[in-house]
Amino acid sequence: MTDQNEALRRRGLAFLRSKKALIHNAKVTMAYAGAKRLIAVIKANGYGHGDVWVARTLYDNLHVHDFAVATLAEGERVRQAMPEEEVQIVLLGVQPAEFAPEMVAQRLAPVAGSLDWLLRAVAALTQSDTNGVLSVHLAVDTGMGRLGAKSQEELAAMVDFVRTCPKLSLAGVMTHFATADEDNPGYYCQQLADFMKMVTGLGIEKDKWHLANSGSALFHRDDVPTDNIRVGSVLYGYNPAMQDRALPVELKPVASLVGRLWGVHLLKKGESLSYGATYTAKKDQWVGTIPIGYADGLKRVLSGMSVLVNGKREKILGRITMDQIVISLSERVPINTQVTFIGRDGEEKITIEEMADFGHTIPHELLTGFSDRIPRVDVAE
């Protein structure tokens, strides 16, 4: 389903996405960071936007050919849609070593966090009689505490093993910053110093380093190597630092979320609504029902937040339920009137940052939580 009106007619909801905004964000981020290579992070279904959609858009328009996902299943789906030889897909995070043969078959490059993982991966390749070579990215744990070498000795042992094993090839070396988008320069600088100390002297070509995430690319471009950047949030057009830091470039939101009123009625003074009867009308008022709830990704903690109707701010009344919400209406409006959850309506707008701030969370969590019950629709540009 690709037509906005049809999506709204059939489901009452549409997750709108802009190729133009995605391309713009990639361009300005690379230009600002001085990056020569972009590893586009498209895990969690492209942060909710559609992993293949993001990958194809960036490849077809900017010839970005490096992508990062989180799981083997994600990697296989993207590979099936992106069979081009130059397309490289990195598997971030921990992967079961016994699936090394599948990774070779799909040309997926896992991140290896230890010599033990490499040994088990080679054993799996040997047992399966796989002829191909497994490309690996070696992780350096400088402070995230999830996986990776913690000393130069550990990293050196991994590098030596990869270089001497005919079943492996070194695709990259990486780390991940914990506070790049926060006001904690001490921790960030220590992570950077530890990475540089551990990598220096091991003869790993600099063009294989990738450590600049979105926060680094935007806020630390003069401190960290940015020839290669591995970014996610900035591609989708929001500030990873939220309100804590102003963006140095103009990013354009890729996603908007809209719905339609499928019910409009008068709530009488003294009447209550939704589970728990937490909202009671103090006077007669018009309200509207929209077919969206926490099963669609509109989390219960967003109860009470603003939405836009005809360019005016209204409120979600009572608790968000699994499949429906009720909103205030300043006046009676027709059935099928559009409601904006994220995006602009007239002079008003609601950003994903505003929604996240209201819900005491981050944009990443909200965007990746919008379920596939909401149709993804390309906007006409």
Grouping H, G, I as helix, E, B as strand and the rest as coil, residue 42 is: coil
Quickly tell me which residue has 């191909």 as its tokens: 132
Q: What is the pLDDT of residue 53?
A: 98
Q: What is the pLDDT of residue 3?
A: 86
Which of 246, 245, 252 is CA-nearest to residue 25? 252
232, 46 contact by CB (below 8 A): no
Give the Å distances, CA to CA, from 159 to 117, 146, 152, 155, 213.
Answer: 13, 19, 10, 6, 23
Global pTM reads 0.95
Query: How does pLDDT run across 176-189, given as a tens digit for each residue?
Result: 999 999 877 899 99
- First and final C-alpha spacing in the chain: 17
Q: What is the pLDDT of residue 93?
A: 85
- Residue 73 to residue 261: CA distance in whole angstroms: 37
Q: What is the pLDDT of residue 2?
A: 59
- Residue 236 to residue 25: CA distance in whole angstroms: 7
Q: What pairing do the DSSP bridges indicate for beta strands 279-280 and 272-273? A: antiparallel
Query: How does pLDDT run across 246-270, given as a tens digit for each residue?
Result: 999 999 999 999 999 999 999 999 9
Which of 21, 98, 129 is CA-nearest to residue 381? 21
Q: Which band of pLDDT confidence, cut at 50, 70 and 90, is reported for residue 1?
A: very low
Which positions are catalytic?
Answer: 43, 275
DSSP E strands in the chain: the ranges are: 13-17, 37-41, 66-69, 88-91, 108-112, 134-139, 168-174, 209-210, 228-231, 255-260, 263-267, 272-273, 279-280, 285-290, 306-309, 312-317, 325-329, 338-345, 348-350, 376-378
175, 139 contact by CB (below 8 A): yes
Q: Which band of pLDDT confidence, cut at 50, 70 and 90, is reported for residue 244?
A: confident
Specify the amino acid at residue 39: I
Query: How does pLDDT run across 26-75, given as a tens digit for each residue?
Result: 999 999 999 999 999 999 999 999 999 999 999 999 999 999 999 999 99
